Amino acid sequence: MSMSTESLKKKKWKAEDIPDQSGKIIIMTGANSGLGLEATKELVRKGATVIMTSRNIEKGKDAVDEVITEIPNAKVELMELDLSKLASVREFAKNFNQKFDKLDVLVNNAGIMQPPYTVTEDGFELQIGVNHFGHYVLTGLLLDKLKFSPGSRVVNQSSIAHSRGIINFEDINSKDKYSRLGAYGQSKLANLLFNNELDRLFKENSTDTIAVGVHPGYTATKLQHNGPTLGGKSIWSRLYTVTNKIMAQGVDKGILPMLYAATEDDVTGGDYIGPGGFSGMRGYPKRIKSSERSYSLEDAKTLWDLSEELTGLKYEF
């Protein structure tokens, strides 16, 4: 990944710099823990109404209780969403579209990292299924609400790991050979290819909505533990226990790129925002360049066409 950076309008932008979000409707996927939970807290502090999604309703209720305990006037609503199941994605979108008349920001934040080989009920390898295909379908089903909300945006959470990713279009579900790290990198590269193609299509169709890519650097969250420990403890979970203590930044810093992309007025479609410090692992948010592969128009189009084919969802701009 090229670490060419461009400063934002404030060199050391913090959560308290978020502009007023009163009246904004924001969906946060993966809001029951980690980056999603902490970002939700900062958004509701500034007046936003946040739809907190969680695949586990009990854990989601605990997260809502935590937000309200910390911010008593918080405007939050919990909705069930399991991105590994397209039926759940469709049900969530149907319920949201019936209840709300607009959507200002969709934050595609939820993810899974380096689990043992698992296939979803829709036939997808779990990482590409949750991290890409689930969010592809979710975004498409919410498109009308985004299009008719002036200044709306889609924020797609990627990772430093995208720079090691290669999309295996012949075996995107890793049926022939599975590498935990390789499949994760593939899914995170897919996030950026999706982001860039989505933004291109917004522009092509004269849609006011923009798509913005972000990454949190190396931030200590449950992500590094939950995926690798599916099916039992692994060498990966033990490794991350050590490196998190030595190298990682706190969640309070890791949420900043996502929050900047979701709220600031100088963000433009196709931006990629992440920590501006050493190797993009930590620091305050800056505009950065992602890997050369992530800007491939050919790969973005191929991934888009494959996503249409495998999910059965064609976007209507």
Identity at 172, one-letter amino acid code: I
Q: How many domains does the chain have?
A: 1
For residue 31, pLDDT over 50 is answered with yes
pLDDT at 3: 46
Question: What mean pLDDT is predicted for residues 229-239?
Answer: 56
Q: Average model confidence (pLDDT) for the chain?
A: 92
For residues 57 and 273, is the Cβ–Cβ distance under 8 A? no
When mean pLDDT is compared across 80-89, 93-102, 229-238, 272-281, the lowest value belongs to 229-238
Identity at 73, one-letter amino acid code: N
Domain coverage including residue 30: 5-309
Give 280 or 205, the one with higher predicted confidence.
Answer: 205
pLDDT at 11: 80
Q: Answer yes or no: is 314 within a domain.
A: no
Q: Answer yes or no: is 315 within a domain.
A: no
Burial (CB count <10 Å: 0-12, 13-18, 19+), residue 122: middle
Query: In a 3-state reduction of DSSP, which class is residue 27?
Result: strand
Question: What mean pLDDT is predicted for residues 4-8?
Answer: 65
For residue 237, pLDDT over 60 is answered with no
Q: pLDDT-based confidence at 219, cuts 50/70/90?
A: confident
pLDDT at 193: 99
Question: What mean pLDDT is predicted for residues 205-219?
Answer: 96
For residue 297, pLDDT over 50 is answered with yes
What proportion of the chain, given as a percentage, has pLDDT over 90? 84
Q: What is the CATH number of the domain that holds 115?
A: 3.40.50.720
When mean pLDDT is compared across 54-63, 203-212, 228-237, the lowest value belongs to 228-237
Question: What mean pLDDT is predicted for residues 208-232?
Answer: 74
Question: What mean pLDDT is predicted for residues 31-38?
Answer: 98
pLDDT at 224: 41
For residue 247, pLDDT over 80 is answered with no
Q: pLDDT-based confidence at 2, cuts 50/70/90?
A: very low
Q: Which helix (H) or strand (E) holds 51?
A: strand 49-54
For 48-97, the pLDDT digits (tens) are 999 999 999 999 999 999 999 999 999 999 999 999 999 999 999 999 99
The span from the CA of 104 to the CA of 102, in Å, is 7
Burial (CB count <10 Å: 0-12, 13-18, 19+), residue 30: buried
Q: Answer yes or no: is 70 within a domain.
A: yes
Pick the closest to residue 253 from 289, 290, 285 (CA basis). Answer: 285
Give 31 or 5, the one with higher predicted confidence.
Answer: 31
pLDDT at 229: 53
User: Among all residues, which ones are annotated catalytic?
Assistant: 184
pLDDT at 243: 54
Q: Answer yes or no: is 316 within a domain.
A: no
Q: Answer yes or no: is 60 within a domain.
A: yes
Query: In a 3-state reduction of DSSP, which class is residue 8?
Result: coil
Q: pLDDT-based confidence at 225, cuts 50/70/90?
A: very low
